[in-house]
């Protein structure tokens, strides 16, 4: 078993491991066979970095990856690239989501390089919701790539060290590639094959849409195992607490792609404290799905209820037997530290002199 | 951090399918009829659905048709591919436009998509359905439209080479828009055939 810190120098970045495509912790946790836990950060509508750090602190240390969403639901928020830049700086492990709705292939490939340079180890490729779903329905839907060709594009960048055009990269982005699955939307019998397609395109882990119908998910997983897909990719099940039966009913009729069976709503309605019942329901679903063969973790989406994620994860006991870990540094951290020292020393910069020195610099 | 007020506001929002237009109409502002996030050419999908139901026949027909086009390669070459481009594109646009609501992407994938044109998907997905398909099999963006990919999966089940739906499609080359897919396929097949013939000679 390999520790999650560099044995030669605990302050250095993680060593690349054979067979691993990233240096991130999420990939290590999954490849070791531990039950992974990821969560979603609710992106702020502000330019204040503190908002991001406050929201990330809720997950500090015990979540294996924090999804930085890319304008989910086509609503405008702080960009996923920006959130990732802030998070990696503080040693968090973000999963950067890229949606094809807003960016064409030129912008996306640039963002992947930039993200990887900032220390992002996990990239999640999505199609994205339609613009009509969001707060600015008059926007131009881009959809230049789709999730499949996006996966393939990033895989080509990483493995072949090339842009989509064939132009060479000097340093390829070392990222762990993710995708999304929704076993709960028609055409149901095509869904497992679609996962197979995503794996062929480059997906190494997938996070699913909210799972409220465990029998249906079991059926899907049976087909997935028959196709041997659970051995080629790590499957994280999307779960989350429902605040009330009213919310559940609203989501069911207004958010396409989320399937909530009647039994769930009846159970919530019958409870004295619906919020508490919603949390318990989430824990029950985690306990059921973690026993399904081929499930490697959970992705907890608790929109506006992020503070309950800790309770849900702790009470379901999925982190049992986890080894402690240490935060890794970024390759650029030493550089930043030395620059910070200069700043702290309060050294004055004399522009004229410096330009003179630079002008006489041999080149 | 919980903001019950904001959540309540979201619940009050009128979301009726094509959310934007409905919300705007509810305020009493002028809304043109048939507003759609994806350029809609038609309000009924009868012909498109007929094509999916008869995907096996259309597959058979297209194979004959492609062979015929390839047989005519010397003719296209004699006239010049660049000169026949315009009239052929005209015919292709109208024939495929009628049958499949074709969007003239110039790189036809109908044979791999069960004769359901993927460019009619508001997200222009070419590799399968998104996660937003409604329980009744309709589109999340256009609630009255049957999901292009639910149809594609149905259509591909009838086709002899329906497994082509499992191939990963390359991203669309936007520069080929409004060009003839028929001519491009023919020219490429002819070039392959010539290369093969040359190889056999050598």
Q: What are the residue ranges spanned by the domains of chain A?
A: 25-330
Query: For residue A197, which of A236, A149, A144 has the smallest C-alpha distance?
Result: A149
User: How close, in Å, is residue A137 to chain B by CA atoms?
Assistant: 6
Residues A65 and A34 sit within 8 Å (Cβ to Cβ): no
Cβ neighbourhood burial of A323 (10 Å; 0-12, 13-18, 19+): exposed
Asked if pLDDT for residue A85 goes beyond 70, the answer is yes
- The two most distant CA atoms of chain A are separated, in Å, by 80
Cβ contact, residue pair B169, A148, below 8 Å:
yes
Two tokens, residue B3 = 């903001």
Amino acid A7: pLDDT: 54
For residues A43-54, give the mean pLDDT: 96
CA B162, B165, B171, B177 torsion-angle sign: positive
Cβ-Cβ contacts under 8 Å, B3 against chain A:
304
Residue B172 has φ and ψ, to the nearest 5°, of -65, 135
Residue A295 has φ and ψ, to the nearest 5°, of -90, 125
Two tokens, residue A289 = 């799905």
What's the CA angle centered on A88, arms A103 and A149, to 5 degrees?
30
Query: For residue A88, which of A112, A116, A108 has the smallest C-alpha distance?
Result: A116
**Rounded Cα–Cα distance for residues B52 and B49 (Å):** 5
What's the CA angle centered on A28, arms A26 and A33, to 5 degrees?
100
Q: What are the pLDDT digits (tens) for B10-67?
A: 333 434 444 456 666 777 777 777 677 666 667 789 999 999 999 999 999 999 999 9
Cβ-Cβ contacts under 8 Å, A144 against chain B:
171-172, 174
Residues A90 and A61 sit within 8 Å (Cβ to Cβ): no
Residues A38 and A63 sit within 8 Å (Cβ to Cβ): yes
User: How close, in Å, is residue B193 to chain A by CA atoms?
Assistant: 27
Task: Measure CB to CB from residue B132 to each of A138, A143, A185 and give the nearest one.
Answer: A185
Tell me if residue A293 falls in helix, strand or coil. Answer: coil
Chain B contact probe: residue of A186, A195, A220, A310 with most B CBs at under 10 A:
A186
| A188/B contact by beta carbon, under 8 A | no
Cβ contact, residue pair A190, B149, below 8 Å:
yes
Amino acid A362: pLDDT: 84
For residues A249-274, give the mean pLDDT: 92
Query: For residue A126, which of A205, A193, A181 has the smallest C-alpha distance?
Result: A181
Cβ contact, residue pair A144, B174, below 8 Å:
yes
User: How close, in Å, is residue B138 to chain A by CA atoms?
Assistant: 9
Cβ contact, residue pair A197, B168, below 8 Å:
yes
Amino acid A329: pLDDT: 81
Those residues of chain B that have pLDDT short of 50 are 1-19
User: How close, in Å, is residue B121 to chain A by CA atoms?
Assistant: 11
Q: What are the pLDDT digits (tens) for A119-138?
A: 999 999 999 998 888 888 88
Amino acid A149: pLDDT: 96
What global pTM score does this model have? 0.90
Tell me if residue A126 falls in helix, strand or coil. Answer: strand
Chain B contact probe: residue of A146, A180, A245 with most B CBs at under 10 A:
A146
Asked if pLDDT for residue A101 goes beyond 90, the answer is yes
B91: left (phi over 0), alpha (psi -120 to 50) or beta: alpha
**Rounded Cα–Cα distance for residues A214 and A192 (Å):** 16
Q: Give Rg (Cα) of chain B.
A: 21
State what percent of residues in chain A have pLDDT above 70: 96
Amino acid A6: pLDDT: 57
Amino acid A363: pLDDT: 76
Q: What are the pLDDT digits (tens) for A286-337?
A: 999 999 999 999 999 998 899 999 999 999 999 988 888 888 788 888 899 9
Q: Which CATH number describes the domain made up of A25-330?
A: 3.20.20.220
Residues A20 and A31 sit within 8 Å (Cβ to Cβ): yes
Amino acid A145: pLDDT: 96
- Whole-number mean pLDDT of chain A? 92
| A55/B contact by beta carbon, under 8 A | yes
Q: What is the DSSP letter of B16?
A: -
For residues A49-59, give the mean pLDDT: 96
Q: What are the pLDDT digits (tens) for A177-216?
A: 999 999 999 999 999 999 999 999 999 999 999 999 999 9
Tell me if the bond preceding A187 is cis, omega within 30° of 0: yes
Alpha-carbon B21 to chain mean position:
25
Q: Cite the beta strand spans of A289-345 per DSSP E.
A: 295-300
Residues B73 and B186 sit within 8 Å (Cβ to Cβ): yes
**Rounded Cα–Cα distance for residues B58 and A308 (Å):** 55
Cβ contact, residue pair B20, A138, below 8 Å:
yes
Residue in this structure with the two tokens 């409004």, named with its chain if needed: B178
What confidence tier does A12 reach under pLDDT thresholds 50, 70, 90? low
Amino acid B6: pLDDT: 38
Amino acid A361: pLDDT: 87
């Amino acid at each position: 078993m390999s520790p999650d810190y560099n044995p030669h120098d605990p302050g250095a970045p993680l060593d690349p491991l054979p067979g691993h495509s990233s240096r991130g912790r999420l990939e290590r946790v999954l490849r070791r066979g531990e039950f992974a836990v990821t969560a979603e950060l609710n992106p702020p509508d502000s330019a204040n970095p503190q908002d991001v750090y406050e929201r990330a602190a809720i997950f500090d240390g015990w979540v294996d990856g924090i999804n930085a969403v890319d304008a989910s639901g086509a609503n405008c928020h702080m960009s996923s690239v920006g959130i990732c830049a802030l998070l990696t700086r503080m040693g968090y492990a973000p999963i950067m989501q890229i949606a094809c709705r807003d960016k064409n292939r030129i912008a996306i490939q640039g963002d992947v390089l930039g993200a990887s340079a900032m220390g992002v180890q996990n990239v999640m490729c999505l199609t994205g919701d339609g613009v009509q779903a969001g707060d600015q329905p008059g926007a131009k839907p881009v959809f230049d790539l789709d999730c499949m060709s996006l996966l393939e594009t990033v895989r080509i960048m990483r493995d072949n060290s090339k842009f989509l055009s064939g132009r060479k990269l000097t340093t390829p982005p070392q990222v762990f590639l993710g995708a999304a699955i929704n076993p709960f939307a028609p055409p149901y019998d095509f869904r497992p094959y679609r996962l197979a397609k995503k794996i062929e395109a480059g997906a190494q882990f997938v996070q699913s849409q909210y799972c409220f119908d465990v029998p249906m998910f079991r059926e899907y997983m049976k087909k997935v195992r028959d196709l041997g897909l659970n051995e080629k990719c790590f499957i994280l099940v999307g779960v989350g607490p429902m605040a009330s039966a009213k919310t559940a009913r609203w989501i069911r009729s207004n958010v396409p792609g989320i399937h909530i069976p009647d039994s769930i709503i009846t159970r919530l309605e019958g409870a004295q404290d619906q919020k508490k019942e919603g949390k318990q329901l989430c824990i029950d679903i985690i306990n059921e799905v973690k026993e399904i063969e081929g499930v490697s973790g959970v992705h907890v989406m608790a929109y506006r209820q992020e503070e309950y994620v800790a309770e849900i994860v702790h009470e379901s006991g999925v982190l049992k037997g986890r080894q402690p870990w240490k935060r890794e540094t970024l390759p650029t951290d030493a550089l930043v530290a030395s620059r910070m020292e200069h700043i702290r020393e309060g050294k004055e910069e004399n522009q004229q002199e410096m330009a003179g020195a630079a002008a006489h610099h041999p080149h | 951090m919980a903001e019950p007020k904001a959540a309540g506001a979201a619940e009050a929002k009128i979301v009726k399918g094509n959310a934007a237009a409905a919300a705007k109409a509810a305020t009493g502002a002028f809304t043109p009829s048939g507003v759609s996030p994806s350029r809609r050419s038609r309000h009924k999908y009868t012909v498109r659905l007929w094509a999916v139901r008869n995907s096996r026949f259309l597959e058979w027909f297209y194979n004959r048709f492609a062979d015929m086009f390839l047989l005519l390669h010397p003719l296209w070459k004699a006239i010049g591919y660049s000169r026949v481009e315009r009239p052929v594109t005209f015919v292709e646009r109208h024939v495929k436009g009628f049958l499949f609501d074709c969007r003239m992407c110039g790189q036809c994938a109908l044979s791999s998509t069960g004769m359901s044109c993927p460019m009619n998907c508001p997200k222009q997905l070419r590799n399968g359905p998104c996660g937003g398909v409604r329980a009744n099999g309709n589109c999340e963006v256009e609630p009255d439209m049957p999901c292009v990919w639910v149809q594609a999966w149905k259509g591909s089940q009838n086709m002899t080479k329906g497994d082509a739906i499992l191939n990963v499609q390359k991203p669309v080359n936007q520069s080929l828009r409004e060009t003839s897919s028929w001519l491009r396929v023919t020219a490429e097949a002819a070039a392959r055939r010539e290369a093969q013939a040359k190889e056999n000679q050598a």
